[in-house]
Amino acid sequence: MAESSWFVYLLKCSDDSFYTGIAQDVEERLHRHQTSRGAEYTKARLPVELVYVEAVENDSKAVFREKWLKRQTRQVKEELMRVWQASPNRG
Amino acid symbol at 54? E
Cα atoms found within 13 Å of the Cα of residue 52, Cβ hemisphere only: 24
Does residue 76 have a pLDDT over 70?
yes
Query: Does 20 score more than 60 pLDDT?
Result: yes
Describe the chain by its helix, strand, coil percentages, rounded to 5.
40, 25, 35
Q: Which pLDDT tens digit goes with each residue over 21-51? A: 999 999 999 999 999 999 999 999 999 999 9
**Is CATH 3.40.640.10 the classification given to domain 6-86?**
no
pTM equals: 0.90
Q: What is the mean pLDDT of the chain?
A: 93
Domain layout of the chain by residue ranges: 6-86
